[in-house]
Amino acid sequence: MKYYLVIKKAHNNYLPIDIEKLINLPDYKLTTIEGIDSFTINYEDEMALKDYLLSVNFIDEEESSKDLEIIYYENGGIRQLEYGPIFKKHLEIFDSEFLINFLIKLTDNPLATNRIFNAFSKQKNKSDIFQIVLDVLKNVKRSKDENKIKNIYYLRFLPYEEKRQLTLFIYNNFYDMINLNKMGIEGEINERSRVKKNQ
């Protein structure tokens, strides 16, 4: 399957970003998620990348106000990758050991772990490893399920695309629950989250 970095101008109206003119990659990698990520992670966030694209005349002022997305073709139609591009700001947590430590600490908060489970439980074509990790997060309590929680360490072997999805979901929904000083691994989880209560 081929993937493309685009500006979403309107519904089903996308402007492709020709990254082969901006990054030195073998042709076969230019339309992979990993290839696109290797380009976008050079920029702090979406605004920084759009500012660069504007400066090199890849997009105009109006297009710079639109969202960057990653699309692919499936069953004759255009689909958007659910969690979009990954940027330098995400690299703080795009690390297996960080994710393991974070999820283990999060098991003291069953509402949060169930939220992650529910977000991915109906996803099709999950790897066996991702399913093992998700099963740990369903109705888990660290003080009662120590042996079960050890299965979170399987996350080290999670396929790239699933690790990417999990990273972006955690960043978008639980970033405020982590103290990211000094890589964040020693950060403490509290009761705050990006999503407002009862939203």
- CA angle, 45 as apex, 44 and 50 as ends, to 5°? 110
- Asked which of 40, 64, 88 is the last residue of a domain, the reply is 88
**Angle, in degrees to the nearest 10, between helices 110-120 and 128-137:** 150
Asked whether residue 83 falls in the same domain as residue 107, the answer is no
For residue 14, is it within any domain?
yes
For residue 111, is it within any domain?
yes
Average pLDDT over residues 56-64: 94
Give the residues across from 140 on adjacent strands: none
For residue 10, is it within any domain?
yes
Q: What average pLDDT does the chain have?
A: 85
Asked whether residue 82 falls in the same domain as residue 116, the answer is no
Spatial separation of the C-alpha atoms in residues 20 and 36, rounded to whole Å: 10
pLDDT digits (tens, 9 = 90+) for 63-102: 999 999 999 998 889 999 999 999 999 998 899 998 998 9
Spatial separation of the C-alpha atoms in residues 108 and 196, rounded to whole Å: 20
With 60 as the cut, is the pLDDT of residue 132 above it? Answer: yes
Q: Residue 125 is which amino acid? A: N
For residue 197, is it within any domain?
no
pLDDT the model gives residue 21: 86
**What is the domain range of residue 50?**
3-88
Asked whether residue 178 falls in the same domain as residue 103, the answer is yes
Scanning the structure block, which residue is given the tokens 């369903």? 138
- Residue 39 and residue 24 in contact, taking contact as beta carbons nearer than 8 Å: no
For residue 143, is it within any domain?
yes
With 60 as the cut, is the pLDDT of residue 57 above it? Answer: yes
pLDDT digits (tens, 9 = 90+) for 151-188: 999 999 999 999 999 999 999 988 777 654 334 444 44
What is the total count of domains within the chain? 2
Decide: helix, strand or coil at residue 11. coil
Asked whether residue 107 falls in the same domain as residue 149, the answer is yes
Asked whether residue 57 falls in the same domain as residue 102, the answer is no
Dihedral Cα 74, 75, 78, 81, nearest 10 deg: -30
